[in-house]
Chains A and B, each alone.
Chain A
Amino acid sequence: MISPIIIIAATFLYFAMMFFVAHYVEQKAAKGVFLTHNAFVYTLGLTIYLTTWMFYGNVGLAATKGYYFLAPYIGNSIFCLFWFEMFRRLLRIKNTFNITSVADFISVRYDKSSFLAALITIVILIGIIPYLALQIIAVLKSYTLITTGSTVAGIGTFYTNLSILALIILFIIIFSFRKLDQLQQQPGMIMVVAIQSIIKFITFLLAGIFVTYFMYDGFWDLFAKMRVSTVLPLIQSNPSYSQWMSYLIVSIFAIIVLPRQFYVGVVENVNARHIRTAIWLLPLILFLSNFFVYPIAVGGILHGYDVKLADVFTLLLPLKEGSPFLAFAVFIGGLSAAMSMIIVSTITITSMTTNHLIVPLIENVRPLHFLRRYLLQLRWFVVSALLIFSYWFSFAVGSTFILVKIGILSFAAIFQLTPSFLGSLYWKRGNKHGAILGIGAGFAVWIYTALIPAFVRSGWIPNSLLTEGPYGIAFLRPENLFGISTLDPLAVTLLFSFLLNVGCYILGSLLFEQSEEEKHIAAQYIGGLKEEPVLAICDTEHTQILLHEKTATMMQIFSQYVSIGDARDLTDESLRETDLSGKEFITIYQLMSLNNVIEKKLARYISAPSAKGVLLHSGLVTAKEMNDFTCVHREIGAISEVSSQDSKQAMDSRIAMEKIFKEQSQQLEMAVADRTKKLEEANAELKQINNLTIDRELRMIELKERIKVLELQIKEFEQKIGAQTAKTLD
């Protein structure tokens, strides 16, 4: 046992160090030095997948089910084969649409549907709370064990638990929700997650080496003792193929679709090249992290510890077998495994909850409009509420489950997003109706077959529901739906939820039509979508829109969520980016470009679907202007018979051409003016030269006449002199 004071002091010191690391990395980043921009930090960030489930829960599963604990890691290792292509696509989409979460990613693809985003957020919120509770249970159990030697949490630890919870809340708020802008990378947080990954990895390996080489004489000694053991075969019995496959399948996509994985893998990715390293390094870390799980599980059982305590064997064995320092290190490792998951999951879920549930509520209920200016404070409130609720849940339901069961419950909930997620990337006809129906149906099955049985085991609902079915209808027993009793309950959940989810998604997508915008977005997600050309005649070429009116509307939109100064900056930025600064009138194309830029900027604060909704009702683009734009859009598509993507390019090139023509026209006018001036100057010069020539001619004539006169005078003078000389000589 270790004194509670030492443990509490160590926990505070641990948090202080994490604060320092995050602060240091953020300061460096502010100076342009990005310590997190490398493939190894990126991959270590992805190992956030390894939570207390791996650290403690895996040993519990290995002790009771043998090799089952490997399934959640082998499934996703196999499908790393496809990561390079898939992640490059995800990153391209993230950069194009300013995606900030998995709910954003799916809902933007399906017509930027606010309803779908809200539905996904609810699924994630309900699905992840058990997982957050799992982390809290693990931390509390390990704390109680290391300080008292018992795994039953007592009243005495209540205030300590609350202190730890308050520290976590404070940490998240300070390092993630200081600003409203969600697109800002969080290098400090990512570095903290990477360091926590190293700590949990090394401490777990140390615990494994201690059990294998210090408690026993290596693997062969352990194997030899297993062979003659009479306890192990009794415990590790009744293998279920369906359960193994369920774990395998559910984990394949969890490593991408889980909100925290999507955040670290896609939102925080700064370079697509990092994926190459992650493809081999992440499975290698998963492999090494599982290497000592089985020896720890078997070592604990062979030493006579109760298999019910297997969840904490990683900590219990060093503690009870004379290595308190290692036990302390393992406690810190477990804390790291829990903290990284809690931090990132809370960040992502908080953003989703405010963006897709709270912001739409504020927008639709007029008395709540004043809250637009308090979005940041609302996020703080959501962080606190989420963690406090998870803490409560960990006592209310969690105590009746082993850790892995809680984790897999969450995985099965998030699995409901997989068909729509994959459909968004690979099926162009998938639409929002299909996605809403699919996710809704799959989630309903999950609630009935997985969540309700969890409530039954917690004593909230009578046990007869599981044994006899609702109203005594055995056919509808949640864990044996439609009378299936040969499959594991998890397999039943996955089978029926998947069938209904995919079925409704396909049916809904085939029955309902996509909107024009949805087709356009689908083309951008998938690429190369051909549209039916529609002939139309538009007269919008000369439509002139007053820019100052639109600028005022922009200011009004931004100032709802940020300060007046920031709103002004955002407005100026938008105008600069669209090259409209200082103009009096703009065209319909320029207005739509401006609208897109504003939507992207607003998405940084309230997510893309909410931004779209706000702009739709803001009056920035009037109904007539929207009709004009649609008309032009179709006209271009009809004339050139090209895809939506191409028609956008054509429109862009048309705008560019218009700009070039205007510039050329201006240059031509200037050239003409210049030439005219030069001609005038030349003409004046010519006139001057001409005048000079005439003057010269006239002067010459005058001079010639004067010469003639002078010659005559000279002749007369000579004659006179000649006459006088003759007289004199005579």
Chain B
Amino acid sequence: MKVISLYIKDMNEKFWSLFRRKETKWFLAIFWMIIFSTASMTTLNKEPAYVTVFFYFVFWVFLLLTLGVVAFSEEDDNNNAS
């Protein structure tokens, strides 16, 4: 049990630290830029506008989830907290 607990703790730490990395943030930013930009270039653009708007909102919900994870992964630095 102790081994499993330590493993979960380790994985948990790795998960949050992954979202603190600059590389991950750049990947996510480029990923979402591509998603939203290609949506306006591809067949989605040919759909009635309300369909396009609907899909944009769906994507936006997932973007919000990503931002939530990134926000909670950030660690406060007491030296920088004014």
A interface list, Cβ under 8 A from B = 66-67, 70, 74, 77-82, 84-85, 88, 91-92, 95, 222-223, 226-227, 232-233, 236, 239, 241, 244-245, 248, 269-273, 276-277, 279-280, 283-284, 287, 291, 294, 298
Contacts and interface: CB of A to CB of B under 8 A. Distances in A.
A109 B71 CA distance: 29
Given A70-B53, A78-B63, A271-B82, A248 B37 contact: yes
Interface of A is mostly: helix
A222 B52 CA distance: 15
B65 to A, nearest CB: 9
A294 B82 contact: no
A294 B50 contact: yes
Interface in B29-82: 29, 32-33, 36-37, 40-41, 45, 48-50, 52-53, 56-57, 60-61, 63-64, 66-68, 70-72, 74, 76-77, 80-82
A147 B48 CA distance: 36
A223 B82 contact: no
Nearest to A229: B48
Contacts of A284: 64
A66 B47 CA distance: 11
Nearest to B36: A74
18 contacts: A66-B52, A66-B53, A67-B49, A67-B56, A74-B36, A81-B25, A226-B48, A227-B48, A233-B48, A239-B45, A276-B71, A276-B72, A276-B74, A279-B70, A279-B71, A279-B74, A283-B64, A294-B49
Contacts of B64: 77, 280, 283-284, 287
Nearest to A82: B25
Contacts of A84: 70-71, 74
Nearest to B39: A67
Contacts of A241: 40-41, 45
Nearest to A92: B80
Given A82-B29, A248-B37, A77 B48 contact: no
Contacts of A222: 50
Nearest to B27: A81
Contacts of A239: 40, 45
Given A244-B40, A269-B82, A270-B82, A74 B77 contact: no
A277 B71 contact: yes
B44 to A, nearest CB: 9
A565 B68 CA distance: 51
B50 to A, nearest CB: 5
B29 A74 contact: no
A283 B63 contact: yes
A276 B28 CA distance: 17
A280 B50 contact: no
B25 A232 contact: no
